[in-house]
Amino acid sequence: LQASRNPTANVATEAAAAAVASEPRILEELHKILAEMSPECRRRSLSNLFSQSQRLILEAFVLGHRRAACQHQVPLATPENIAGESLVVKAKVEPSKRKRKAEIDNELPAGLIANPQSNGCYYSAQVALGSLRLLSRSDRDLPRVKAFHAVLMDIHGKLAGTQGAESDFELQFRSAVEGALLSHDVDARALGLRFYVSLKPTWASRPLRTRPFNFANEADFQMGVSAFQRLEASRGQ
């Protein structure tokens, strides 16, 4: 080897061997430098600049580093490559999740929504009446959510004949909800009843949507009714 032909280099090589054997940080730096080289340049450097003992030490370090990386699922790469690898893994997982959600949605009756999670699939019910949207809480029990949907459909039926006039809407909405809850022997909190408004005025380029309002909270209910009335009034303006 080149180091063995030069006494000074040989002393430096043996000192380096002792240093790298006792200092993992040096091994990590060497590993990074070698990883950035081309295969041919890396081969020449290992052959010409390292003794056999150094190569064995470095080889053991690299193998151990790879095993640890596999166990923790951390790629041996720069931060940029790590970010890229994360995106690749996500790209492989997300389409599968979307496909599964689409498959579940296709199997569900209209008005039921699936939301697959790592701990199971959650379901919720949603019913539309004009610009008004009624929502139930999410639950992993599909039969229970189907019962929620039946309550929302009952509310829908009771409201279907109303005109949404400002003077009447609050009373009509409250009466329809309370009547449906009584018929199904459930309360608004257990149902997780919320509502929001979604409509597209003539002057808007896309639909306007409010946040969900909690029917069981009187202040929130009043805010939701007010939002509904204001947006309905702005529809043709």
pLDDT given at position 16: 52
Residue-wise pLDDT for 109-128, tens only, equals: 788 988 888 888 899 999 99
Residue-wise pLDDT for 61-98, tens only, equals: 777 766 655 544 434 434 444 344 333 334 344 556 66
165 SS3 class:
coil
Polymer length of the chain: 237
pLDDT given at position 195: 95
3-state helix, strand, coil in the chain (%, to 5): 65, 15, 25
pLDDT band at 175 (very low <50, low <70, confident <90, very high): very high
In the predicted model, is pLDDT for residue 38 greater than 60? yes
Going by their DSSP bridges, the two strands 132-135 and 112-117 should be labelled as: unpaired
In the predicted model, is pLDDT for residue 27 greater than 80? no
Who wins on pLDDT, 157 or 91?
Answer: 157
pLDDT given at position 182: 95
Q: What are all long-range contacts of 183-189, with beta carbons under 8 Å and residues at least 24 apart?
A: 183/154, 184/147, 184/150, 184/151, 184/154, 186/147, 186/151, 187/216, 188/215, 188/216, 189/216
